[in-house]
Amino acid sequence: MANKRYASFFLFFMMPFSLLHKSYPQLVNQSSDEHQILLEIKRHWGSSPVLGRWSSNSAAHCNWGGITCTDGVVTGISLPNQTFIKPIPPSICLLKNLTHLDVSYNNISSPFPTMLYNCSNLKYLDLSNNAFAGKLPNDINSLPALLEHLNLSSNHFTGRIPPSIGLFPRLKSLLLDTNQFDGRYPAEDISNLADLERLTLAVLAVNPFVPGSLSNGVW
């Protein structure tokens, strides 16, 4: 009887170590993959005040400027004021745990980056103060449903804001001011954003919206 209790205790005690042993190679491989992805992003955008210090000789990419890691995996990239011109590289969405992306105050010139639809865990997206241009896509709600913050202000977006902007179930902050939108903003659709706490739509003489009202009193 004592031997059975000892055997049960031994198996219970050793199980966490066995699981750790099996998961450790996966963590190492993921870290190595993320390291290479970040270096590819650096090659795409070129040198900048922060990226210039990202080094292939340093394996500790979680300590690189602009990078946030949680439990050893990359969850955030914050690279404002880096003089970027080229579009956001699609490889950024290979970082499968990425929840936060801030590339504000650069000079990125491209249409709306629909490749970000592939960043499946994104919660915070700041593209403000760049040179993004053209119409917002009708399927902009194909951005992750987890999205809580979307800042597209101070760009060169034109046309109408698509009704699908009101289909983000968790959105708390929506900033669209200082673009060249026209027409009537989709007040009814925006009012469906039940968790919305912050909304900016227009700057006088910049976004020539036809006036509308928001039924839930969001400002």
Helix, strand or coil for residue 175? strand
Evaluate if residue 98 carries a pLDDT over 80: yes
* pLDDT score recorded for residue 209: 46
Q: pLDDT for 40-93, tens place per residue? A: 999 999 989 999 999 888 779 999 999 999 999 999 999 999 999 999 999 999
Q: Quick one: three-class SS letters along 64-125?
A: CCCEEEECCEEEEEECCCCCCCCCCCHHHHHCCCCCEEECCCCCCCCCCCHHHHHCCCCCEE
* pLDDT score recorded for residue 198: 97
Please list, in sequence order, all residues whose beta carbon lies within 8 angstroms of the beta carbon of residue 193, skipping any fewer than 6 positions away.
166, 168, 171, 174, 218
Look at the alpha carbons of 4, 9, 15, 17 in this order and tell me if their dihedral is positive or negative.
Answer: negative
In order, the DSSP letters of 118-168 are: G-TT--EEE--SS--EEEPPTTGGGS-TT--EEE--SSEEEEPPPGGGG--
Sorted by where each starts, the structural domains of the chain and their CATH numbers stand as 29-200 (3.80.10.10)
* pLDDT score recorded for residue 22: 46
133 versus 9: which is more confidently predicted?
133
Q: How far apart, in whole angstroms, are the C-alpha atoms of residue 23 and residue 71? A: 13
Residues 91, 113 contacting (CB under 8 angstroms): no
Pairing of strands 73-78, 67-70: antiparallel
Residues 170, 195 contacting (CB under 8 angstroms): yes
Which phi and psi (to 5°) does residue 151 adopt? Answer: -120, 110
Tell me the pLDDT of the chain averaged across its residues: 85
- The pTM of the full predicted model, rounded to 2 decimals, is 0.82
Helix, strand or coil for residue 3? helix
- CA-nearest of 102, 68, 99 to 82 is 102
Evaluate if residue 181 carries a pLDDT over 90: yes
